[in-house]
Amino acid sequence: MTIAKKIADKIAELPKDSTFGYADLPIRPEEYVTAAKALERLQKKGIIRKLSKGIFYKPNVTVFGELKPREEDILRPYLYEDGKRIAYITGTSLYNQLNLTTQIPSLYKIASAEKRIYINRGGIKAKPVKSYAPVTDKNYRMLGFLDAMKDLNSIPDVDKKSAILIFLRRLGKMTSKELDVLIKYALLYPPRVRALLGALLEQLDVAIDIKELKNSLNPLTIYRYNLRDTTLTTQPNWNIV
């Protein structure tokens, strides 16, 4: 089978809106030059579009026109390595998805424990931040949720009262097993995150042990979140002001 045929067959299997790079194609590094020519022909036919150097996507054309891929799809080639997730989108872009802000950033933040991911290609710009735990498909949402607690004071235009309600709702939907795992990751985060999570869980009165969070904190430290006008009545128990 020719390289062009292998590439065409692989792209035909991809869902619309999906992005891909050379590493996602069934080719060897020494075949990249030939592959580039095959991809160029597919672009001319309108089968694929180029996002940036080495990154392409399969367009989704509807009656309303061609839809651009979601940011997660655009950045997917950078979030995975050898088919394994190594990073996730955090920062203002994530907090917008969590309804904590209406701001849409021009610069993405990509968290990873394994590598520092910089992107400056075409319209995609991103800078790296260090994740507090190795990133997997199973834990990246939890890490992003803890990031939001960590950055609560710096999220643009955040309404603290609404933010606390959002946190409580998300925690309330988690199972006891999921909450136990969340606590495990929270212990890797700064003390203020542990304090806020402890106060939220105490307010929910969930049937899990939160002593480990409490015991990890310095009883003399004050955690400043400016939550006076929120519904978080347990904050004094965790030295939160």
Phi, psi angles (nearest 5°) of residue 34: -65, -40
Residue 54 and residue 21 in contact, taking contact as beta carbons nearer than 8 Å: yes
Strand partners, 60: 67
Specify the pLDDT at position 160: 96
Residue 201 and residue 179 in contact, taking contact as beta carbons nearer than 8 Å: yes
- Find, among 239, 236, 235, 232, the residue nearest to 160 by Cα: 232
What does each C-alpha distance from 88 to 135, 137, 188 come to in angstroms? Answer: 7, 9, 17
- End-to-end alpha carbon distance in the chain: 66
- Find, among 50, 13, 83, 41, the residue nearest to 59 by Cα: 50
Specify the pLDDT at position 122: 63
Taking the model in full, what pTM does it have?
A: 0.80
Q: How far is CA 77 from the centre of its chain?
A: 13
The contacts of residue 26 (CB under 8 Å, 6+ apart) are 6, 7, 10
The rounded distance, in Å, linking the Cα atoms of 108 and 87 is: 12
Phi, psi angles (nearest 5°) of residue 21: -130, -175
* Domain locations in the chain as residue ranges: 3-68, 70-147, 159-241
The rounded distance, in Å, linking the Cα atoms of 123 and 106 is: 9
pLDDT in tens, the chain (241 residues): 898 999 999 999 988 878 888 888 888 888 889 999 999 999 999 899 887 778 888 888 777 777 777 766 778 888 988 779 999 999 999 999 999 999 989 899 999 998 999 988 767 789 999 999 999 999 999 999 999 999 999 999 999 999 999 999 999 999 999 999 999 999 999 999 999 999 999 999 988 999 999 999 999 999 999 988 788 999 999 999 9
